[in-house]
Amino acid sequence: MGAEVLRVRGLSVAFGGRAVVRGVDFALGAGESLGIVGESGSGKSTTALALLRMLPGGGEITGGSVELAGQDLAALPEPALRAVRGRRIAMIFQDPMSSLNPVLTVGRQLDEALRAHGGRRPRAERAARAVELLDLVGIPGAAERLGDFPHQFSGGQRQRIMIALALAHDAEVLVADEPTTALDPTVQRQILRLLARINRERGTALVVISHDLGVIAETCSRLLVMRDGEVLEQGPVQLLLTDPQHPYTQALLAAVPRLEAPSRAAANSTPGREPLLVVRGLAKHYGPRRRRTTALDSVDLELHPGETLGLVGESGSGKSTLARALVGVHAPSAGEVLLRGEPLGRAGARPDVQLVFQDPYSSLNPRLTVGQIVAEPLIAHRLGDRAQRRARVAQLLEQVGLEASAAERSPREFSGGQRQRIGIARALAPEPSVLVCDEPVSALDVSVQAQVIELLARLQRELGLAVLFIAHDLAVVRQVSHRIAVLHQGRIVESGPADRVVTAPEHPYTASLLAAVPTLPTTTGSLL
């Protein structure tokens, strides 16, 4: 370990008098990287926010210290803290689209960060530094992109911009909270390599918060495991991930989907012989003909009753566009979708194909009760009277592993995994024959992810559902799928049995996706 730059002693945090973090201790040296893992509610993100005194309303540090090169940030007056935060210790947030200002250009946002701690540095010097930062994080044509807005960048590029903002003043410590959660394998690997390079070449101390143990294994040299606000064990990554001592760490590792593990789909259900859903020549274009963007290009797919078809590909490959075309949100530009041999109607016309959304937090209306949310499709499709809908909602909640009394409560009263169960119940309400799952577990930690995957498998066995499972995690996709289709630039470039596609890919693009999957130290070493 290099010279110590961060020392956390007995850090405790409470919200409204309720302790959520208790007695956290760790030290971090220059050029060192520490991963913090744990389930939702373990206190890992609260710990990260407490390091910079950025706790949301009602949160307060109730004990301990956060010493940056000997200076206790927990005890600093707010004006003094503002001089340190962003300059010497900086944060990379999980969702760049909600963290970046959508109405300001990237150049303007970088300029604001530089002016915050840059004194009276001339504008030309700040502009040159902004270009330098975008170059550093790998944004092509950096000088030309300063005038672009966040929505004009891809998901991976927006995350790189977040990193550039954090690096504006060569911070001694970077805190990255779930920096790659929603990114596909190749973009995820690029971000991890970037963080590793900054950590190694610039000597920046790095704290990475993640529920993905593969990400931690490939990014960090040390690991800290949290549960219920407390540290259960910490030590070298290689040691803790190959020989964990605490039963909770062992359980986390056991829940991690392994790319080398064969598909379990055949044990869950046996697909029917005749296809239920057929997609022929499906295309989707945006914009006028001269400047047309093609999201889908002559896509052909078949989905059988009781079958799970995994769909993988990079951001921008067309996965979510295909999902929305199947449920009628987007009208295709060409081609057709047939259900039981008949053309599938537009949105609202048929309840046979339903969608489970990626984010269980933003996909549930916070102003409605859970019962009202689950009943929405029943009302939209005019299914049953009020009493019948109430009974159906109770049945659905119990079917997905919740109590019927949950119908009277608000979504905010539930965990991420429970909210995703509510989303699944809503999708099942009109008794669909096809369930389209668009990244249904990417925002969940590994143990909750395993519970939701098992729930989907049970529902498929019981109801004979056909499932299109869209995800960027190839280990999860192999685990749940009978077949896998690979989408690249709007085209299906490969499809076949799940185990064959993963173990013997035929297309170079599939091979590149597989090569980018983060793995645990039993199969590969750290990027560091």
Binned at pLDDT 50, 70 and 90, residue 211 comes out as confident
Residue 153 pLDDT > 60: yes
Q: Nearest CA to 40 among 156, 163, 175, 177?
A: 177
pLDDT at 497: 97
pLDDT at 118: 66
Tell me the pLDDT tens digit for each residue of 455-494.
Answer: 999 999 999 999 999 988 899 999 999 999 999 999 999 9
Give the mean model confidence (pLDDT) for residues 219-247: 93
Tell me the pLDDT tens digit for each residue of 486-501.
Answer: 999 999 999 999 999 9
For residue 57, the 8-state DSSP code is T
Residues 6+ apart with CB under 8 A from 346: 328, 331
Cα–Cα distance between 91 and 71 in angstroms, integer?
18
Tell me the pLDDT tens digit for each residue of 427-456.
Answer: 999 999 999 998 888 777 788 888 889 999
Which is higher by pLDDT, 359 or 81? 81
Residue recorded with tokens 């960060």? 113
Collapsing DSSP to helix, strand or coil, 465 comes out as coil
Residue 289 pLDDT > 80: no
| Residue type (1 letter), 307 | E
| Residue type (1 letter), 486 | V
Cα–Cα distance between 23 and 31 in angstroms, integer?
25
Count CA within 13 A, CB hemisphere, residue 120: 0
The pairing of beta strand 59-68 with beta strand 4-15 = antiparallel
Cα–Cα distance between 39 and 78 in angstroms, integer?
31
All domains of the chain in start order, with CATH: 1-88+173-179+204-256 (3.40.50.300), 276-495+509-515 (3.40.50.300)
The structure's pTM equals 0.80
Contact 65, 72 (CB under 8 A): yes
| Residue type (1 letter), 67 | E
Q: Nearest CA to 64 among 87, 40, 47, 77?
A: 47
Cα–Cα distance between 265 and 248 in angstroms, integer?
27
Residue 319 pLDDT > 50: yes
Give the mean model confidence (pLDDT) for residues 311-327: 87
* pLDDT averaged over every residue in the chain: 88
Residue 524 pLDDT > 90: no
Give the mean model confidence (pLDDT) for residues 512-521: 85
Tell me the pLDDT tens digit for each residue of 368-406.
Answer: 999 999 999 999 888 999 999 999 999 999 999 999 999
Instruction: Of 200-214, 217-231, 312-326, give the range with the top mean pLDDT.
Output: 217-231
Q: Nearest CA to 158 among 186, 180, 126?
A: 180
Cα–Cα distance between 138 and 193 in angstroms, integer?
11
What residues does 279 pair with on adjacent strands?
301, 337
Here the tokens at position 93 are 């947030």
pLDDT at 345: 66
